[in-house]
Copies of this chain bind each other. A is one copy, B any other.
Amino acid sequence: MNWFDQSIMARRAVAKGKPGTTHQLTEVAQGQYHYTLGPNPKPVLHIQPGDVVSAETHDAFEGKLRSESDKPSELLNLPYLNPQNGPIYVEGAEKGDCLAVYIRDMKPRGPQPCGTTALITEFGGLVATGDTALLNTPLPERVKKVDVDAETGVKWTDKITLPYQPFIGTIGVSPEIESISSLVPDYYGGNMDLPDVAPGAVIYLPVHTKGAYLYLGDCHAAQGDGELCGVAIEHPTVTTVQVDLIKDWTFKWPRLENEQFYMTIGSARPMEDATRIAYRELVRWLAAEFDFDEIEAYMLLTQAGRVRLGNMVDPKYTLGASILKSIVGQAR
């Protein structure tokens, strides 16, 4: 039996994890992409719990970096970065519910080289930035274009090919009243840049507004832990997700489930606060839905918890804390 049939999504969601109608959210259907996650735009799509959406995502630069001689400082225009598909209105979703998004498939689209990475001035994990505001001279800008193929991988150099390990860099729902830049990760999801948000996983997002308003974009073909220079292998994709709704499952920060583990995701600065958020949420989850009290969960995670660094470059850093299903069994 597929693990997914025993997932929380399959057991508790309105459509029981069964796929409904498939919607094509093409570039044309999307029209205007969005640079904030908020409750104001008119939804681009209304769906029922269980429906499948196949979205044509842009890369984080909306395709503006086409050649290795391009200058990001000339072509990119803050805050108009990281374009998002959506918002998708999910019928029946209300504050206090949970949106369950099962990532079914991702594939690159567009002409080669369709992958882009870059050094952007005063952005990245090993350089002075707008926040870590120093007097050192910035590194020079640089753009690198790479072929991305779902079968053969990411052709980094003649000698090095990286496996194609796609994931969704930015996915989230709308805050209740704020409209936040799609560059920011937070309690509603957003720009987490966490490689576990990949095909085969279910991400659970706490709903803050009627209809949930799901956004997604910023898909990566490969990324190391931390997204060190700030730009993964950005690429346009067709990304297919199945969206379901769990009524009255209320929690504060995104959660994720895949075949191996349960994960909670925190975003904050400094990095220890993001880690504390993730681990406290996992303690609380274990206490609420597994057979542990909080202290037992705290002590068990000390011996068996796992941490994945998503990004160390965005306005908030993102980390996931997880525990293997082989250790804790299955959520109630």
Contacts and interface: CB of A to CB of B under 8 A. Distances in A.
Number of copies: 4
A253 to B, nearest CB: 9
Contact of A225 (B232, B299, B307): B307
Interface string A270-300: 1111011101110100000000001100111
A156 interface: yes
User: Which of A225, A280, A312, A321 has the most B CB atoms < 10 Å from its CB?
Assistant: A225
A281 B135 CA distance: 10
Interface string A215-228: 00000001111111
A281 B124 CA distance: 16
A276 B133 contact: yes
Nearest to A327: B160
A306 to B, nearest CB: 5
A27 B46 CA distance: 39
Interface stretch (A9-17, A175-183, A240-248): A175-183
Contact of A126 (B117, B144, B179, B276): B276
A172 interface: no
Interface in A71-92: 79-80
Contact of A131 (B226, B277, B303, B306): B277
A73 to B, nearest CB: 16
A2 interface: no
B133 A280 contact: yes
B276 A134 contact: yes
A232 B276 contact: no
A223 B134 CA distance: 20
Contacts of A295: 119, 139, 142
A277 B122 CA distance: 13
A179 B179 contact: yes
Interface in A253-281: 266, 268-273, 275-277, 279-281
Contacts of A128: 128, 134, 136
Nearest to A307: B225
A127 interface: yes
A162 B303 contact: yes
A283 B79 contact: no
Nearest to A226: B307
A198 interface: no
Interface string A20-43: 000000000000000110101000
B135 A127 contact: yes
A60 interface: no
Contacts of A232: 302-303
- In the A-B complex, the 4 residue pairs with the closest CB atoms: A136-B136, A224-B305, A270-B270, A271-B271
11 contacts: A36-B177, A40-B40, A119-B295, A132-B132, A160-B327, A162-B303, A178-B181, A180-B180, A222-B304, A224-B305, A309-B309
